[in-house]
Amino acid sequence: MPRFDLHWDPTVIDTEQEKADFLAALPALAEACRREFGKRSTAGWRDFLLDTHRTGTSRYVAIARNIEWDRRQTVESFPWIDGRGQNRSGFMFTEKPRRDKPFSPLANRTIGLHRPQGNSVGIEAAYDSALSGQAGERWMRRIHGNYWIPATDDFLRSPEPGLDVRTTLDLRTQDVASDALRAQLGKHEAEWGCAVVMEVATGNVVAIANLVRDPETGQCSESYNHALGSAVEPGSTFKLASLMAMLETGRIAPGDTLDTGNGMIVTARGCSEMKDTSYPKGGYGPLRLDEVFERSSNVGTALAIQQVFGENPQAWLDALSEIGIGRKLGVELAGEGTPTVHKSTGERTWSSCSLTSMSIGYEVAMTPLQTAAFYNAIAADGRLIRPRFADALLDGATVVEELPTVVLEERIASRTTLSALQNMMEMVCAPGGHGTAEDVFRNRPYRVAGKTGTARASRPGGGYDGHRGSFVGYFPAERPAFTIAVVVQRPTQAGYYGGVVAAPVFRAVADHLYGTRPELAGDNGGALAGAPRLPVSMNGHLATLRALYDELDMPFLVDTTGQGTTPPTHVAAQTGERQVTLTARRVPEDAVPDVRGMSLRDALQLLERQGLRVDIQGRGTVRRQSLAPGTEPRNGQTILLELS
């Protein structure tokens, strides 16, 4: 956003005629400065300007700082300044562009930071060359105090604006994900957490929340992109990759039975005991392979991996490599964490415990984004898609370049294996079943396929300290549209299992998406035209509402009574039992418009067109506006909108 500092060089007024003209304009100029900048009375501004003019010792007198573009235009219309330019009026603007994030801290690290000295991050760093444009050139002159000021208003070469980047992030989904994650970090007094929401078909990242909790104050902030950069041991969410590799061999099937006994085994000499959560209650006993996954049995997974790959562990590592485990995704954002996984049984770090330890998500590390992409491949019937954070470069409203979806692998497993894994993931989340997330999605109108994960959190230098809870999956299970991955690091209160600390974030985001995207309901949603009540819409732009009602097949009538033959641009919506009536709403060219009942987007378009500055309280529909409709606006005047 352009910002300007305003300075004054009184020495340019050097002829008797210019002095006389300045003194004649001074009262009106002083009043304009008081009205626009405050700080002094009209008399105070008059004396200040007159004293600096008479003294004539400074050629760079500070008037105001951080002026917005619309306020600059107002200042340029002041008496004495209007039409004179800096060389004749002495008033000069110094531009200092500033990057604003109106919705900070939402997706703060993903949107990014621009640092001229380097180490920029996020989308801004990834598309810096497109965003930067071309710098201009003009003559500057140095004055007393080693200040450099423009010698003229003209450029030798005009600056060329850069392109805009259209991100894939959805503001509302981002807001819901951040709020839900913040609530869980506070409830469980966790160290940090992250959540990634991806579109299954495109790989578009529609939300990515990263919050770190201050243990002293309990406040959460977004200071590091853990979803992108933190490669951690995934724990039980890695069992999906383990089962995929096993099923692809054909040497084990979902219905094969494994005896998990009392829920505790030692897999090899020198290895630690491996236990299930059922161990204190006597274990699960015999389980089918799909039940092993449903109940997240560590013992059953270890027995299965030994049965399939015990005689040839290298085949297991090769199988993981073939499905993409251990490789970076190559996303456009800098800082993607490097996954770690054994490549060979000949490595120094490989041991007799490694096969079974890896099968349940240890001795392997992946970022939450990499885990989300793998699960998304299951939802997308085997297509491994690179997560995408931007989909187009634009020049204004014109698309200059489409940024395509990149498919890394067309199919990472056979259809038979994918179908089996999809069924197992649904069993984990099925209400009334035996899955580790069976309570999370009770009484929800949609079905989820996913996997909980609970792992010990490693310490720098070795060993473990605390736990890490996670949940990854997709929904609706029958027609996957979104994949969501949630990780919560070191929860210390009220539980630490993935189904307790992470799955509620998934549920909050899924509730929001299901409630705001009718297409997710499918056959369960019912036809809008046959519903007992039509959905209520805001007032707003006629073309937008018309397109929406046409798309939803909703009956509506445009009432132009008393408006003449000119089609209205904006309307008020009145929802009845059988149709919506859109009544023309006049938008005056030279008065404050009535934006009550409108969406914020439509209101901003109308108000900013009138030169008004808009302050906002709340969210939703405009309920009240501080300037009465029909009054005459003043350029740069502020209007407060209360939303509800």
Domain ranges of the chain: 3-105+113-163, 172-520, 527-586, 587-644
Weakest-pLDDT range from 130-134, 148-152, 200-204, 268-272:
148-152
Higher pLDDT, 31 or 546: 31
pTM for this entry: 0.73
Span of 127-131, 182-186, 344-348, 474-478 with lowest mean pLDDT: 127-131
SS3 402: strand
3-class state of residue 130 by DSSP: helix
Average confidence (pLDDT) over 36-62: 91
Q: What is the mean pLDDT of residues 564-579?
A: 74
Q: Where are the alpha helices (DSSP H) in 334-430?
A: 354-359, 368-379, 415-429
pLDDT of residue 121: 83
Q: What residues form DSSP beta bridges with 365?
A: 340
Q: What is the pLDDT of residues 241-251, one digit of tens each?
A: 999 999 999 99
| pLDDT bracket for residue 285 (50, 70, 90) | very high
Band (pLDDT 50/70/90 cuts) for residue 114 is low
Q: Mind listing the pLDDT tens digit for each residue in 71-88?
A: 999 999 999 999 888 888
Q: Quick one: pLDDT band at residue 525, thresholds 50, 70, 90?
A: very low
DSSP one-letter code for 106: T
Q: Find all residues with CB under 8 Å of 531, minimum gap 6, and list them.
A: none
Average per-residue pLDDT in the chain? Answer: 89
Fold of domain 587-644: Trypsin Inhibitor V; Chain A (3.30.10)
**Between 241 and 2, residue with greater pLDDT:** 241
Q: Which pLDDT score is estimated for 562? A: 57
* Cα dihedral value 215, 219, 221, 225, nearest 10: 40
Query: What's 81's DSSP letter?
Result: T
Predicted local confidence at residue 238, as pLDDT: 98
Nearest alpha-carbon partner for 294 in 419, 438, 473 = 438
Say if residue 521's pLDDT is above 90: no
Cis bond upstream, residue 476 (ω within 30): yes
Could you tell me which residue, 589 or 239, shows the higher pLDDT? Answer: 239
Round to whole Å and give the CA distance between 128 and 490: 36
Instruction: Give mean pLDDT, residues 63-68.
Output: 92
Q: Tell me what pLDDT residue 530 has.
A: 36
Reply yes or no on whether the pLDDT at 145 is more than 70: no
Look at residue 528 in the predicted model and tell me its pLDDT: 34
Instruction: Given CATH 3.40.710.10, say whether it is the number of domain 172-520.
Output: yes
Measured N-to-C along each axis, helices 503-516 and 171-188 cross at an angle, to the nearest 10 degrees, of 150
- The pLDDT score that the predictor gives to residue 621 is 82
Determine the residue type at 455.
A
* pLDDT score of 422: 95
Residue 588 pLDDT level (bands cut at 50, 70, 90): confident
Q: CB neighbours of 644 closer than 8 A, spacing ≥ 6?
A: 618, 620, 621, 623
pLDDT at 327: 95
Residue 425 pLDDT: 97
